[in-house]
């Protein structure tokens, strides 16, 4: 592939990732980890402030 096509694909993938990235509802940080919840479901924890949610 020509370099210009690869650059465009990388740019588009980067924009899509930025739009779908989780943010902490408490502090707005993007440093969020996905963890297994107590009931077997998925929960999230902010590694910046410690807030957790599901």
Q: Are 29 and 46 in contact (CB under 8 A)?
A: yes
Residue 50 lies in a domain: yes
Q: Looking at the 3D structure of the chain, how many domains does it have? A: 1
> Residue 12, class by beta-carbon neighbours within 10 Å (0-12 exposed, 13-18 middle, 19+ buried)?
exposed
pLDDT at position 39 is: 79
On whether the CB atoms of residues 29 and 23 are closer than 8 A, the answer is yes
Name the residue with higher pLDDT: 5 or 48: 48
26-54 pLDDT per residue, tens: 999 989 999 987 778 889 999 999 999 98
Question: How many other β-carbons are positioned within 10 Å of the β-carbon of residue 48?
Answer: 14
Domain that holds residue 46: 23-54
Tokens of 10: 């990388």
Average confidence (pLDDT) over 14-22: 63
36 is a domain residue:
yes
Entry pTM: 0.58
Q: Quick check: 43 and 35 in contact, CB under 8 A?
A: yes
Q: Is the pLDDT of residue 16 over 90?
A: no
Q: Does residue 3 fall inside a structural domain?
A: no
Any domain includes 38: yes
């Amino acid at each position: 592939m020509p370099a210009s096509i690869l650059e465009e694909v990388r740019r588009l993938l980067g924009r899509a990732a930025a739009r779908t990235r989780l943010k902490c509802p408490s502090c707005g940080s993007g440093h969020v980890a996905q963890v297994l919840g107590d009931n077997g479901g998925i929960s999230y924890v902010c590694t910046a402030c410690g807030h957790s949610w599901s």
